[in-house]
A and B are shown apart, each in its own frame.
Chain A
Amino acid sequence: MTRASLPLKAAALGGLAFLHVPLIFILLYCFTTEERSYAFPPPGYTLKWFAVVWDRADIWAAIGLSLKVAVAATALALVLGTLAAGALARAKFFGREPISLLLVLPIALPGIVTGIALRQAFGLMEIPFSFWTIVIGHATFCIVVVYNNAVARLRRLSPSLIEASMDLGADAFQTFRLVVLPNIGTALLAGGMLAFALSFDEVIVTTFTAGQQSTLPIWMLSELIRPRQRPVTNVVAVMIILVTFLPILAAYYLTREGEAVAGSGK
């Protein structure tokens, strides 16, 4: 393999830096003493905003709601996404292509369309906004994340493993429990974590399905449009980064290990 030229290297590393610089600035502004503008460099540094966040009940309520919604939406997406992956991983039948399109549609179409459509449907059926209206919206676009992870792993799973299990006397359910599930487990976990992160962070669809409820991103959006104490927003932003960072990192290692195991099993 030849070595990369200097301009290519510089462009690649510059691009990566571009992806991370704004996040660094968010962290920096957590400590500024200036709360009315985004003056750079910050005139002074303080830790008081962390204490302010700690005492804000509205923020904790929003975090609580976001966590509950993310758990429920992830659970639903895990079941529905795994079922869809099981059906589509290998089977070839008429209508397979439209179904996989249908799965991707909720993230392929603009979130605003999904959001308004769901709000209209809830209005039409006179369903009041609640915890579950948010969950329904989130689960809809989380399914595909679980599906993608599960279907990729299922396709790598040698079909003869399932045949071997049945050959040795296991029925379909035993085969699923003892062979399929252990082999796709990490992929499901990874898909679940990504779905969790996606739901925890979602704002566009939520705007239309939450009514008066405030998830953390909704709280954040209102702060962005009508800022009160700007550094408080920064502290919350860093918290959000941490809450989504850990599952994503875990998902990454889970899928990587899974690949190593599946690859050497041959």
Chain B
Amino acid sequence: MGAVRGAARRPQKAVPPMHATLDTVPATPAVRFQGVARHFGAIRAVDGVDLSIAPGEFFAMLGPSGSGKTTCLRLIAGFEQPDAGHIEIFGETVEGLPPYRRAVNTVFQDYALFPHLSVGDNVAYGLRVRGVARAERARLAREALALVKLAGMETRRPAQLSGGQRQRVALARALVVRPKVLLLDEPLGALDLKLREEMQSELKGLQRALGLTFVFVTHDQGEALSMADRVAVFNEGRIVQVGPPEEVYERPATRFVAGFVGSANVLEPAQAAALGGAARVSSLRPEKIVLLAPGAPAPEGTGVVEASVTDVSYQGPVRRVAVRDARGLALVVAVPAGAGTVALGQAVRLAVPAGALQPMEGEP
């Protein structure tokens, strides 16, 4: 009971600086995992995760379904308790703390708006259970709704709102209780494409304006890359790579990351060496490969591949062209629109800049 009583009040210590730079993680991370594991029967949903999220960071957990990212989020929120390991939120140990004793709030994938309450009462809920006076919580709810551009919607019912509006109510409801960390579970998953793009930039703007730590879970690599300060890629209960989006995209650490984040070509050590790279398993982004005009000389410092086209698919600004050379090396090349025609079966010459080959640190 002692630990619980000690944590009874919200920690009153000063909020750490909001804009920590990315390469210097400050002494007190917003969220810290040490060897955290969570098993459901024989399923190792989270299997030894170490993690450190800086205050003020927009942190993405990216992975396919079942990779453990959502369980990690639920471990932070307190809906799950770890079977092993240690979790801290702003330096405070939270294992065993129920969700209502944690200074984090969640925007649920299905929004989880209370159907029996009006929009205003939904937003004021967290204030109500803390005993904030009626008039005060109405005012705060109004302000929170204005912040998410839903001013004047207080009396509506959640059922009367569109998906995008419900999402904003969920956001306001979580923000009004001033979380130190905001958790978002697939926040854009249920929205259509146009709305999703709009919300992406709005979320990003809100996070910057509030200086809050956002942790969001997604299976959409595009979303993770465009919104996050740092991305953790999950696979089979573990984090396989953490870093800024550019790094995760440009230098995938494993075959899994190379395939899951933007589908890179993976070259075996001998194939990489033949093209002038290190004799390691390496990734090669399709857009880094240059299609040479017939007869044109290869630029300095590039490896050349003579191959024939096995497949072409048109994708608007680029065409994705699959090729295969005589030794069995298969590559996908992103050819910009207007860079000449490519036909099935045609012989092509490709230039691979030496710097484009990225050895994978996580592979032997």
Show the binding face of A for B, using Cβ within 8 Å: 158, 160-161, 163-171, 174, 178-179, 182-183, 261-262, 264-266
Known A164-B114, A166-B79, A166-B100; 10 more pairs at CB < 8 Å: A163-B79, A163-B112, A167-B99, A168-B125, A168-B173, A170-B126, A179-B114, A264-B115, A265-B116, A265-B159
Contact between A166 and B158 (Cβ–Cβ < 8 Å)? no
Residue of A nearest to B109 (CB): A160
B256 lies within 8 A of chain A by Cβ: no
Contact between A167 and B115 (Cβ–Cβ < 8 Å)? no
- B127 nearest CB across to chain A (Å): 9
Contact between A264 and B112 (Cβ–Cβ < 8 Å)? no
B106 lies within 8 A of chain A by Cβ: yes
- A180 nearest CB across to chain B (Å): 10
Q: What are 9 contact pairs spanning A and B, CB under 8 A? A: A161-B114, A167-B77, A168-B174, A168-B177, A169-B100, A170-B126, A171-B129, A179-B114, A265-B158
Which residues on A sit within 8 Å (CB–CB) of B105? Answer: 167-168
B110: contacting residue among A160, A165, A174, CB under 8 A = A160
Which 3 A-B pairs give the minimum distances between C-beta atoms? Answer: A265-B115, A168-B126, A164-B112
Residue of B nearest to A170 (CB): B129
A171: contacting residue among B79, B100, B106, B173, CB under 8 A = B100
Most chain B beta-carbon neighbours within 10 Å: one of A158, A171, A264, A265: A265
Which residues on B sit within 8 Å (CB–CB) of A168? Answer: 100, 105, 125-126, 129, 173-174, 177
Contact between A265 and B126 (Cβ–Cβ < 8 Å)? no
Q: With the chains together, A265 CA to B126 CA distance in Å?
A: 19
Contact between B177 and A262 (Cβ–Cβ < 8 Å)? no
Which residues on B sit within 8 Å (CB–CB) of A166? Answer: 78-79, 98-100
- A146 nearest CB across to chain B (Å): 20
- A254 nearest CB across to chain B (Å): 14
Q: With the chains together, A264 CA to B160 CA distance in Å?
A: 9
Q: With the chains together, A178 CA to B106 CA distance in Å?
A: 19
Most chain A beta-carbon neighbours within 10 Å: one of B100, B128, B159, B174: B100
Which residues on A sit within 8 Å (CB–CB) of B77? Answer: 163, 167
- B364 nearest CB across to chain A (Å): 42
Contact between B130 and A169 (Cβ–Cβ < 8 Å)? yes
B350 lies within 8 A of chain A by Cβ: no
Q: With the chains together, A160 CA to B99 CA distance in Å?
A: 12
Which residues on A sit within 8 Å (CB–CB) of B125? Answer: 165, 168, 170, 178
Q: With the chains together, A24 CA to B113 CA distance in Å?
A: 48
Q: With the chains together, A178 CA to B117 CA distance in Å?
A: 10
Which residues on A sit within 8 Å (CB–CB) of B100? Answer: 166-171
Residue of A nearest to B104 (CB): A167
Contact between A178 and B129 (Cβ–Cβ < 8 Å)? yes
Residue of B nearest to A266 (CB): B110
Which residues on B sit within 8 Å (CB–CB) of A261? Answer: 115-116, 159
- B71 nearest CB across to chain A (Å): 13
Contact between B159 and A163 (Cβ–Cβ < 8 Å)? no
Contact between A174 and B106 (Cβ–Cβ < 8 Å)? no
- B178 nearest CB across to chain A (Å): 11
Contact between B115 and A169 (Cβ–Cβ < 8 Å)? no
Contact between B106 and A163 (Cβ–Cβ < 8 Å)? yes
Which residues on B sit within 8 Å (CB–CB) of A178? Answer: 125, 128-129
Evaluate whether A171 and B108 lie within 8 angstroms (CB atoms) in the complex, with A179-B114, A264-B115 already known. no
Evaluate whether A262 and B115 lie within 8 angstroms (CB atoms) in the complex, with A167-B77, A168-B125 already known. yes
Contact between A158 and B99 (Cβ–Cβ < 8 Å)? no
- B60-94: which residues lie under 8 A (CB-CB) from chain A? 77-79
Most chain A beta-carbon neighbours within 10 Å: one of B79, B105, B112, B125: B112
Which residues on A sit within 8 Å (CB–CB) of B177? Answer: 168-169
- A223 nearest CB across to chain B (Å): 47
Which residues on B sit within 8 Å (CB–CB) of A160? Answer: 108-110, 112
Q: With the chains together, A170 CA to B105 CA distance in Å?
A: 12
